[in-house]
Structure 1
């Protein structure tokens, strides 16, 4: 039986729901809409001439996504809609120690969740008050490079401080002179999104040697970050080896480096089904930095040593804050 939302709901809650719906549209459909409109106008209409200046700019600007987030816009990051989105859950950002604004940091953010809700509201916009929690810092969130080739869409996401998850792009941020820069990377990536289900938190980290090698070669302080609740905001189907859904997701990951999780929760005007997430409090805790000595050509032992230390710090961070922000039976499963 469908459970409809009450007719009389405060305007603020309506705006929160609209803000989350806007995020879902941007995340799931905006790139496709931009691609379709660009090709349609270019090929099927007489207005193609108006696209010529943008095409020239697009070619000239081809490499700018990897230049350290130079297109980041504080104005766009401060839009009121992001605060409404954060208040929908709500999402909250907590720090355990003060960071030095004269240094740069590499944040390892866990888990990915279905659509990286916590990471987005904290590090791509100022919806949850990042500028107040970490004054003097600029945050950049790494995203699949594929999306930075989509016309118009690329320009929008770059304004939010999103950067491609390539070595060149990441290093251009964490090697910026003057300090005050934070590169936020989700090591589990797209495959980890398929593991996000209510209950325990499952992350992919043991096979992510490139993440630790990057920290060693750059010498940037490595900071573990854990989010509680991201796995609970949507229901998601199991992906069992041998099923068509598992084969389809494996195909997408292998050839396109992204996936399409089959998720659901509630709708705009009813609570029984739909793509909107549940209203579930999300808390993200930023841990203590791990000082990393720069090694230009780290050995396997160097990488494994840093990985072991990082996992220990991450587990300590999870356990020490679990009682405040998650169910006492919740576990952090590292694969």
Structure 2
């Protein structure tokens, strides 16, 4: 059987030669079933239930103490009338004082308890909980392979069987056959030696660190290692839990604790992703939180440690988790509060599922030099090397060990080049002024849009109801007996009449207010809302690529589209100099609409690239029915997307920007999906042909992650769109539902123009022909840049 066939067979799930603890006879007995779960049930139960009880008791005690003190304050400091504390609270406080006093006095002499760890290792070795748990050391397996090559019999046949036996690849990792044999052998002999200055970094965290615990701390391979297992600092806040962790050679993840251990050259094991990696956990997905984790690299450099990346396949199937409100839960992590909400098996929610192959691969070491004071660039250099090593480790073994051999490692580099700007990490944007500046404009505009329209519609309906009731009573009882509408309704009607009269009289002389748009551009340039927002003009970047190719005498570069390297560089440069000139007869068609047109607004209307364009931005016609909203849109060079407006601007050869998908495209919006409504949109093509415009397909990557939406009743909501009623129900940030999520890279690519001929009376066939060409150009634009700019490089474009 070839290596490729073996790899495919293994990737289907598992080979028949792999161990299956669920089928071992001794584990089917009552004695075996109890011992498989009892230790884990006790440890995880103490962890979950114990901590929850302690926190609950702490909060209750705090409340009782405050209540008692408040009663004294109310009675002028008379302690005789103080509300007494419940006996349970008194007992809790007494035990806490004694315990913390003991811990403070003996903090320098706290001893470990190797017997406890040995017992845990014995139980998990003879009564394993998971279907399979194995630790594979790349270095050990290669040593075994090299020893086999040196055997005399193999040397005799080496010339004849080289192609069959040596199947290792050029990546430095062992081949699929060796990877499968490593699991079949499942070597549990101790391998890690003490005081080797080795730092083992485990990924992913998972929910309750099953890989870190079963295949690390409690695995026989680490028996001789004298490793210190670094755990979350807040676990050491709680009585009993602190002692158990310390007895089992766990230490706090504080910088001081790690430095004290590294000074003694002891081996360390830690989970760099921490609570954040647990928070982003989703069943079946490989997600790690590593892009902002530089501290462990810096400490390793300061003490000259070798860093071993370790990845546990199967961790992603140990629990089910609540996947929503991720941003809010990540905010909780900043206060050292876990943000994972989970359940495992039905009989005991905190126990992981046991029908999992838990396989941890410990990669080859990344040798770091000893640098007492490493600078930021050096730390970043080795951090990038570590991420690359981790990704290579995952990619090389996912075909054998992962349930899905085509799985992608998410967030290892956050799906983005580390050189791309990250506005969320800019220091001046972390201040109060920066926080307000980033949100104020968007909060005002979108708030006016949502609440202003909502209030106006409600007032309109209420006024209509009052007027109808007034007229009806007048018809029945006479005008003298009819109760007039409330003063608020009369004021509303009077204001509407005056406002509409003014607009009717001045409809041909309504002026723009360029200063307002410049203010918006200034704010969004200096206080950008999204993690990254970039507009890339393909035409400009292709000119740069051609110039570079000439300088380097390169002849193998595709000049139709940007190369991946040039596409990445375009984001790194983030060129914001104006590119679109006035009166060049350009029609920019933006996709997708999204929930609230973030790409159209941030990377279009308010972007510096369009500063000199004198572009008219066409928006939904019904937005211009409402007072104030109509004026603000007009001041900022927005106009209604009515046909008469497009014809007016095109007769003047003005640049125009539209969203062809309209309300229907917003209705089809689903988080994480690329969906357009375009197959029935022929009008903009016909008008562009009548005036000979250059038609630019424009696509915004990242728009699909700006909001969460209600995805059901789609047919009904599309029917509402026929009456110009929006059919989308959405929410963004937890703190303000209409604000989009800002942890998004909003990248808009303005494609090369489709130069349309001028046909005064285009036939139906002409329109269909150029409509098909436009759809093809848009698909090409999406397919050529999704690999660089999309969160999912394998995404597909759905066109309705």
Alignment TM-score > 0.5, same fold: yes
Question: Of the candidates 248, 272, 276, which is equivalent to residue 351 of structure 2?
Answer: 276
Q: Is 1:328 aligned with 2:405?
A: yes
Identify the residue that residue 10 of structure 1 maps to in structure 2: 29
Quick one: which of 123, 146, 166 aligns to 2:216? 123
Any stretches of 5+ residues in structure 1 without a counterpart? 1-7, 65-69
Q: TM-score, normalised by structure 1?
A: 0.80
Kept in 1, the 8 Å contact 2:48–2:350? The answer is no
Query: Which structure's residues are more often helix, by fraction?
Result: 2
Q: Which TM-score applies when normalising by structure 2? A: 0.35
For 1:135-154, list aligned pairs within 5 A.
Answer: 136-154=224-242
Q: Check whether the contact 1:111–1:202 (CA below 8 A) recurs between aligned residues.
A: yes
The alignment covers a number of residue pairs equal to 304
Find the aligned partners of 2:87 and 2:35 in 1 and give their Cα distance.
33
Change (3 A) 1:309 1:152: same
Picking from 241, 254, 261, the partner of 2:334 is 254
User: By how many angstroms is 1:43 displaced?
Assistant: 4.7
CA distance in 1, matches of 2:215, 2:47: 16
1:288 aligns with 2:364: yes
Check the 8 A contact 1:174/1:218 in 2, yes or no: yes
Mapped pair 1:112 → 2:205: yes
Which has the higher Rg, Structure 1 or Structure 2?
2
Q: 1:89 to 1:63 in 2, by over 3 A?
A: farther
Question: Match of 1:299?
Answer: 375
Specify the SS of the correspondent of 2:367: coil
Q: How does 1:144-293 map to 2 (within 5 A)?
A: 144-177=232-265, 181-240=266-325, 246-247=327-328, 249-255=329-335, 257-268=336-347, 274-279=349-354, 280-293=356-369
What CA RMSD, in Å, does the superposition of the two structures yield over aligned residues? 3.0
Do 1:58 and 1:151's aligned partners in 2 also have CA atoms closer than 8 Å?
Answer: no
Contact 2:194–2:267 (Cα < 8 Å) also in 1:
no
Aligned residue in 1 for 2:561: none
Contact 2:301 2:374 in 1 (8 A): yes
Distance 1:18 1:187, change over 3 A: same
In structure 2, list runs of 5 or more residues that go unmatched.
1-26, 62-85, 141-191, 415-800
Following superposition, the deviation at residue 23 of structure 1 comes to 2.9
Query: Residue 560 of structure 2 corresponds to which residue in structure 1?
Result: none
Q: 1:234 to 1:293 in 2, by over 3 A?
A: same
How many Å separate the matches in 2 of 1:195 and 1:88? 23
Tell me how far 1:232 sits from its aligned partner.
0.8
| Aligned residue among 41, 45, 54 for 1:21 | 41
**In the alignment, is the contact (CA less than 8 A) between 1:34 and 1:153 conserved in 2?**
no
What's 1:57 paired with? 102
Alpha-carbon separation, structure 2, partners of 1:102 and 1:19: 29
1:62 deviates by: 4.2
Q: For residues 104 and 298 of structure 2, what CA distance do their matches in structure 1 show?
A: 32
Tell me the equivalent position of 2:462: none
Q: For residue 114 of structure 1, report the CA deviation from its aligned partner.
A: 0.8
In the alignment, the residues of structure 2 paired with residue 160 and residue 100 of structure 1 have an alpha-carbon distance, to the nearest angstrom, of 18
- Aligned partners of 1:302 and 1:163: how far apart in 2? 28
The separation in 2 between residues aligned to 1:77 and 1:216, in whole angstroms, is 30
By relative contact order (CA 8 Å, sep 6+), the higher-ranking structure is: 1
For residues 266-294 of structure 1, give each alpha carbon's deviation from its aligned partner in whole angstroms, at most 9, with x where no partner exists: 2238xxxx333212110111111111111
